Structure 1
């Protein structure tokens, strides 16, 4: 039989779960930021390109 791939190791599985949780937390934080009542008037002033830049900045702040 061939050797077991590293994806079956517990450390790999734990790292995958940790990455999924981080990505989920980032996505929820972005949604909360853009649907906050205080940010809705500001969101209407920006174009779609500016909103994308704001999202990128928010992700960088959260993951840093």
Structure 2
């Protein structure tokens, strides 16, 4: 699961953070916490219900700033 969470974070958020290299570890830890606590370990739900919408929202803010 750890590697899969890292892949999702990289895929959806890697290009949205200016300093992603330094933020990655924290983002992965937070993503893992969300996956376990809110999505009860369901990677599919976590991806479709959190990663996709969050990445779209961040992309929107990146475009308008």
What's the TM-score bracket when you normalise by the shorter of the two chains?
0.3 to 0.5
TM (normalized to structure 2)?
0.41
Structure with larger RCO (C-alpha < 8 A, sep 6+): 2
TM (normalized to structure 1)?
0.41
